[in-house]
């Protein structure tokens, strides 16, 4: 990978080494969005979807770490920068999901 450690823009090809992690995060987001619309209480549907989807992003990252470690052993260590960036984004969304209800 030719990008520096601080770059946050990746193509689908560059995500290939950690694709299991990335896809797990995306699936968790979509499931969180749907669960927020169907099971969420209060507010508008898009607020519930945003809240549940952002919380599901961090949970998807944690689950994705396990999926990635099981499906492609050693890939987390070889791709630390990608894993770290995905983790930072997931943590940001998770914190946003926890703080969002108090923004009203």
pLDDT digits (tens, 9 = 90+) for 5-47: 566 667 778 888 999 999 999 999 999 999 999 998 877 888 8
Spell out the domain ranges in the chain: 18-103
3-class secondary structure for 13-25?
Answer: CCCHHHHHHHHHH
Q: DSSP assignment of 60-80, as one string?
A: HHHHHHHHHHHHSTTHHHHTH
CA distance linking residue 90 with residue 53, whole number of Å: 11
pTM exceeds cut of 0.75: yes
pLDDT digits (tens, 9 = 90+) for 75-100: 999 999 899 999 999 999 999 988 87
CA distance linking residue 22 with residue 8, whole number of Å: 14
Whole-number average pLDDT of the chain: 88
Q: What is the reported pLDDT for 8?
A: 64
């Amino acid at each position: 990978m030719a990008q520096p450690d601080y770059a946050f823009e990746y193509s689908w090809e560059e995500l290939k080494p950690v694709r299991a992690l990335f896809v797990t995060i995306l699936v968790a987001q979509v499931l969180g969005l749907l669960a927020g619309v169907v099971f969420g209480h209060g507010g508008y549907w898009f607020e519930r979807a945003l809240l549940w989807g952002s919380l599901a992003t961090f949970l998807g990252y944690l689950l994705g770490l396990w999926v990635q470690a099981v499906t492609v052993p050693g890939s987390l260590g070889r791709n630390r920068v990608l894993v770290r960036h995905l983790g930072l984004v997931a943590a940001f969304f998770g914190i946003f999901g926890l703080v969002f209800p108090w923004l009203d």
